[in-house]
Amino acid sequence: MNRNGPLALVFHCLFLGFLLAPILIVCAVAFTSEGYLSLPTHGLSLRWFRAIGDNPEFIRAFKDSLLLGALSSTLAILVAVPAALAIARHQFFGREAIQALFLSPLMVPHIVLGIAFLRFFTMIGLGGTFAGLVLSHVIIILPFALRLILAASTGMDRAVENAAASLGASAWTCFRRVTLPLILPGVASGWVLAFINSFDEVTMTVFIASPETTTLPVRLFLYIQDNIDPLVAAVSAVLIFLTVAAMLVLDRVYGLERLLVGKGRD
Amino acid sequence: MAASTDSQVADIPPSAANPAAHAPPPASRPHRRSWAPYLLSAPGIALFAVLLLVPLAMTFLLSLNSFSFYGGIADVWQFDNYIDILTDSYFHEVFLRTFRIAAVVTVLCALFGAPEAYILRRMDSPWRGLCLLIVLGPLLISVVSRTLGWALLFGSTGLVNQGLMALGLIATPIEFMYTETGVVIALTHVLVPFMVLSVWASLQRLDPQVENAALSLGAGPLTVMRRVVLPQIVPGILSGSIIVFALAASAFATPAIIGGRRLKVAATLAYDEFLNTLNWPLGATVAVLLLLANIVIIVGCNRLVERRYKQVFE
């Protein structure tokens, strides 16, 4: 295969530097020993990581984020699997429209969804509740899960199912013992992608979160709006470390490129 | 579990893995066609009808209401908010700034993202995987953390200005925080992976042998780039641009942190109307306009790209 010239490699290094710079600086500032924002030139210190422990609101927001991500991705999967099977296997009236409906949250800016949910939830009495957060997150992450499950169920061979059915398996047994194991890789990666999208969401959540139930990114965002100190850098650094760890695992198991191709597209 | 699944898939003859196989066999159609797919997708349809269509419709209705500082929201149905926004120069300025930022970000992403995707494809396998991980990884890191990084680089530590002055590129520090320049740089960083992904996908369809054929027929590297590579990745650049533009025009967290309260864009304007001024009808109007602009741009441009480059997509 062709090689890149020296000019291309210089460009490449500058590009990677541009992508990594803000992430690295957050991690560097988090290790400062000073009481203000600075690079750790006078030795590394973990004081700001310890300071996170003195701010229980960050810990609580982190737990809420994890629970919210897990609940909403699981619900999204429960809705998306039957819908994906219907769209992938059947030709029926309104199929295109139904698929477009399920993918439509990708086209709606999250700021608009935030406003719409704030209005809707205050009217039906779900304003500021955890249930409201879960329901709204299910809507925005379902398209990501659906697309991966759809890809898995279009690619699978139906002859195996027919064989099971002809051997006397009921529809449910057929689904549980044959179909589900075959589409499981798609379902699992759909869950992971849905979880990540729920965990990172800030624009919509900032409208519907309340001080009692809020997510970590929203907590961080509101904190940064008031002031930026090494504490937020430390919290961000922890988030970055966790994400990188999850990413390496994900890349090994599934392939990051495969997971992300099409992210953010309609 | 995963291993057994793989072996099951591997046993299937290649012909069965044909994408066309998803069309149901005609024989099973008459009985199963009627209710099964509707029952299967019913929970999702119900959920989306109640939790997506109803809230969006209510937002539109809200945008027709009026608001007064003492009386609150009044149940009237008129287009006054739309007229206000369309005639007031303050709102013109905000929307114009929003689309200007989005356009510049889109151009920058295309200028840097497309060559980067091409360079990535020409790399050898261990490096390519690692670099792809570095390029796509930021997509998974919270946008708040990434923007915080730029706020640190621009403001508190001033590393960007120190670096530029040390290199002799500038004499006096550039103001990045609370300026359009800063928002554009941070947004380009947040969105450029989408462009790389999109161009990367279109490069997958490009056969490297075509480039070699052109070279062997005496074309220079520039000619190959201009006449062979570029025409084939233009659809990728265009569909990447649609994604980047739509996301940049409705971006919230980055302009809110880097732009602050002074430099407003459409999304931060809607946020302020909702949570600070409490003028919900006006905020809803901004949201409806943003949604309309987004849909027009995405659907319109997609149509255009697909029609213009039909032969490439086939």
Which of A32, A48, A90, A252 should one mutate to test binding to chain B, selecting the residue with the greatest count of B CBs within 10 A?
Answer: A90
Burial bucket for residue B53 (CB in 10 Å: 0-12, 13-18, 19+): middle
Chain A environment of B17 (Cβ under 8 Å): 155, 157
What is residue B137's predicted lDDT score, i.e. its pLDDT?
Answer: 87
Closest CA in chain A for residue B298: A107
> Would you call A210 an interface residue with chain B, using a CB distance cutoff of 8 Å?
no
- Cβ distance of B145 and A23 shorter than 8 Å: yes
Tokens of B187: 């947004």
pLDDT in tens, B142-166: 999 999 999 999 986 678 888 888 8
End-to-end Cα, chain A, rounded Å: 33
Query: DSSP letters along B261-307, please?
Result: TTS--HHHHHHHHHHTS--HHHHHHHHHHHHHHHHHHHHHHHHHHHH
What is residue A199's predicted lDDT score, i.e. its pLDDT?
Answer: 94
What is residue B311's predicted lDDT score, i.e. its pLDDT?
Answer: 59
The answer on pLDDT for B312 being more than 60 is no
Mean pLDDT for chain B overall: 84
Q: Are A117 and B256 in contact (CB under 8 A)?
A: no
CA of B218, closest CA in chain A: separation in Å? 16
Residue written as tokens 């406003």? Answer: A115
Return the CA Rg of chain B.
25
> Would you call B287 an interface residue with chain A, using a CB distance cutoff of 8 Å?
yes
What is residue B122's predicted lDDT score, i.e. its pLDDT?
Answer: 87
Give CA–CA dist A134/B84, Å, rounded. Answer: 36
> Would you call A223 an interface residue with chain B, using a CB distance cutoff of 8 Å?
no
Chain A environment of B298 (Cβ under 8 Å): 107, 266
> Would you call B110 an interface residue with chain A, using a CB distance cutoff of 8 Å?
no
Could you state, in order of their start, the residue ranges of all structural domains in chain A? 55-260
pLDDT in tens, A91-130: 888 899 999 999 999 989 999 999 999 999 999 999 889 9
Give CA–CA dist B221/B227, Å, rounded. Answer: 10
Backbone dihedral region for residue B91 (phi beyond 0: left; psi -120 to 50: alpha; all else: beta): alpha
Domains of chain B with CATH codes: 89-313 (1.10.3720.10)
Nearest to B59 among A82, A119, A260 (CB): A119
What is residue A2's predicted lDDT score, i.e. its pLDDT?
Answer: 53
Chain A environment of B48 (Cβ under 8 Å): 101-102, 104, 139
Residues near A20 by beta carbon (within 8 Å), at least 6 away in sequence: B134
Provide φ and ψ at A10, rounded to 5°: -60, -45
Chain A environment of B5 (Cβ under 8 Å): 181-182, 184-185
Q: Where are the alpha helices (DSSP H) in chain B?
A: 2-11, 29-32, 36-48, 54-64, 80-87, 89-121, 125-136, 143-151, 159-166, 180-203, 208-216, 221-224, 230-249, 253-254, 266-275, 280-308, 310-313
Burial bucket for residue A146 (CB in 10 Å: 0-12, 13-18, 19+): buried
> Would you call A200 an interface residue with chain B, using a CB distance cutoff of 8 Å?
yes
Q: What is the ipTM for the molecules in this complex?
A: 0.89
The answer on pLDDT for B299 being more than 90 is no
- Cβ distance of B37 and A95 shorter than 8 Å: yes
Chain B environment of A4 (Cβ under 8 Å): 119, 122-123
In terms of Cα–Cα distance, which of B278, B228, B287 is closest to B98? Answer: B287
The answer on pLDDT for B199 being more than 90 is yes
Residues near A259 by beta carbon (within 8 Å), at least 6 away in sequence: A148, A189, A192, A193, A250
CA of B87, closest CA in chain A: separation in Å? 22
End-to-end Cα, chain B, rounded Å: 37
> Would you call A59 an interface residue with chain B, using a CB distance cutoff of 8 Å?
no
Task: Say what the pTM is.
Answer: 0.87
Looking at the DSSP assignment, which residues form a beta bridge with residue B66? B74
Q: What number of other Cβ atoms are within 10 A of residue A242's Cβ?
A: 13
Q: Are B37 and A102 in contact (CB under 8 A)?
A: no
Handedness of CA A119, A122, A127, A133 (dihedral sign): negative
Residues near A19 by beta carbon (within 8 Å), at least 6 away in sequence: B134, B135, B138, B189, B192, B193
Give CA–CA dist B114/A228, Å, rounded. Answer: 34
3 state SS for A60-110? HHHHHHHHHHHHHHHHHHHHHHHHHHHHHHCCCCCHHHHHHHHHHHHCCCH
Q: Are A224 and B257 in contact (CB under 8 A)?
A: yes
pLDDT in tens, B46-78: 999 999 999 999 999 999 998 887 777 888 888
Q: Are B247 and B194 in contact (CB under 8 A)?
A: yes
How many beta-carbon contacts under 8 Å exist across A and B?
309
- Cβ distance of B152 and A26 shorter than 8 Å: yes
What 8-state DSSP symbol labels residue A203?
Answer: T
**Mean pLDDT by groups of 10 residues along chain A of 266 residues:** 79 95 93 82 84 90 96 97 91 91 93 95 92 96 93 84 89 89 89 92 94 92 90 94 88 74 40
Q: Are A156 and A186 in contact (CB under 8 A)?
A: no
Q: Are A128 and A213 in contact (CB under 8 A)?
A: yes
When pLDDT is averaged across residues B202-209 and rounded to a whole number, the result is: 84
Domain topology for A55-260? MetI-like fold (1.10.3720)
Handedness of CA B131, B136, B140, B141 (dihedral sign): positive
CA–CA distances in Å: residue A124 to residues A213, B56, B284: 18, 15, 18
CA–CA distances in Å: residue B170 to residues A253, A256, B160: 47, 39, 11
Closest CA in chain B for residue A80: B44
**Weakest mean pLDDT among A3-7, B193-197, B265-269:** A3-7
Q: Which of residues 184-243 of B touch A (CB under 8 A)?
A: 186, 189, 192-194, 197-198, 200-201, 208, 211-212, 239, 243
Tokens of B74: 């009044």
Which of A68, A85, A112 should one mutate to test binding to chain B, selecting the residue with the greatest count of B CBs within 10 A?
Answer: A112
Tokens of A115: 């406003």
Chain B environment of A119 (Cβ under 8 Å): 55, 58-59, 62, 280, 284
What is residue A34's predicted lDDT score, i.e. its pLDDT?
Answer: 81
What is residue B17's predicted lDDT score, i.e. its pLDDT?
Answer: 37
When pLDDT is averaged across residues B245-258 and rounded to a whole number, the result is: 95
